[in-house]
Amino acid sequence: MATPIVTAVIPTFRRSALVKRAVLSVLAQTRPELRVLVCDNASDDDTGEVVTELARRDARVIYHRHPENKGAYFNFQYGVDAVQSEYFSILSDDDLLLPEFYRRGVAAFEADPTLGFYCSQAVIYDAQRGTHRLRPSRHWRAGRHAAGESVRLMTEQHFVWTSCLFRREVRDAVGPFEMVPMGDVLFLAKAAALFPFVVELVPGALFTETGANFSHTMPVAELNRSWELGRSWVATLPGQSAVDREALLSVLDWSLKTVAHGMIRAAAEGGDWARFQEAADYLLARGDLSARRRARIAFARKGGEGSWQFGAVRLMTRLQSGYKRRRSSGWKTMSVEDVLAQYR
């Protein structure tokens, strides 16, 4: 086996078929000097057998199973802390890498040894609707970005870390992940403050949106904790002026509001009355709802759980969300295999 220069960290739990697909997408990279570290959070299904068989067939696969489930944050941090190669990437078990991702990323580092990380676009695949879009799709320019110059943009129009390749020194300088919903965004923004990086506006990975994504299932109370931690994070971010810090606080506030809107939309689409109520209370308390959305919430609450009013709001939300996603996808419903074939 060639000396690995890249490690793909794949945390997983009870998703043997998906983690196999993720591992195979890494092994198919056209830059083969790699290692795949699968960190299993004590799955009690056949995940162990599936990954062990992959490791038997390809020595580049390393399998580690925790003796007990210590949560997603711990699992991600454990995997990244275990990286010994020069570069690493982070891949959730339901996501995929496109074949040229590592080749492009390593080539960028070899062309400019001062870079801390490499960013490419992610294909965002909605598994429930079969639609897809690119993130980011605008605002960014291709090329080198100096340390500190794009922190605000990285916070406001962040890349998905699935489609980013990091030098190991970034991990050591940034430190542990923030244990909040925006932890990945804060990691990228702090890395952008400390290191130059390069942007290539080509797809490098596929990120899957499902009803099980963390932002769809986390407690709404986490948003308040995220805001407090975010304020502390902005205050200690290096190389930023007072004006920069105020702008970053505004961006963080906007980002949390966006997450909350996503929560209430997902709750309405899924018919989750308790979560709909919780997210509505949060947004109403912030004053972050338009008159139209306030009227929609009042309409649903007038009927209550199981009412035709809430059902009507659910249907309207599903239609609007479906329209937006299908429009961005060219009105096509596609399988993940079809989407991959389009971008390979």
Determine which of 3-12, 38-47, 95-104, 214-223 has the lowest per-residue pLDDT on average. 214-223
Q: What is the pLDDT of residue 8?
A: 98
Q: What is the pLDDT of residue 217?
A: 64
Between 111 and 138, whose confidence is greater?
111
How would you write the chain as a 3-class SS string?
CCCCCEEEEEEECCCHHHHHHHHHHHHCCCCCCEEEEEEECCCCCCHHHHHHHHHHHCCCEEEEECCCCCCHHHHHHHHHHCCCCCEEEECCCCCEECCCHHHHHHHHHHHCCCCCEEEEEEEEEECCCCEEEEECCCCCCCEEECCCCCHHHHHHCCCCHHHEEEEHHHHHHHCCCCCCCCHHHHHHHHHHHHCCEEEEEEEEEEEEECCCCHHHHCCCHHHHHHHHHHHHHHHHCCCCCHHHHHHHHHHHHHHHHHHHHHHHHHHHHHCCHHHHHHHHHHHHHHCCCCHHHHHHHHHHHHHCCCCHHHHHHHHHHHHHHHHHHHHHCCCCCCCHHHHHHHHC
Indicate whether 97 pLDDT > 90: yes
Indicate whether 190 pLDDT > 80: yes
User: Per-residue pLDDT tens for 269-290?
Assistant: 889 998 898 888 888 888 877 8
Computed over every residue of the chain, the mean pLDDT equals: 88
CATH 3.90.550.10 domain span(s) along the chain: 6-213+338-343
Instruction: Determine whether domain 6-213+338-343 maps to CATH 3.10.20.30.
Output: no
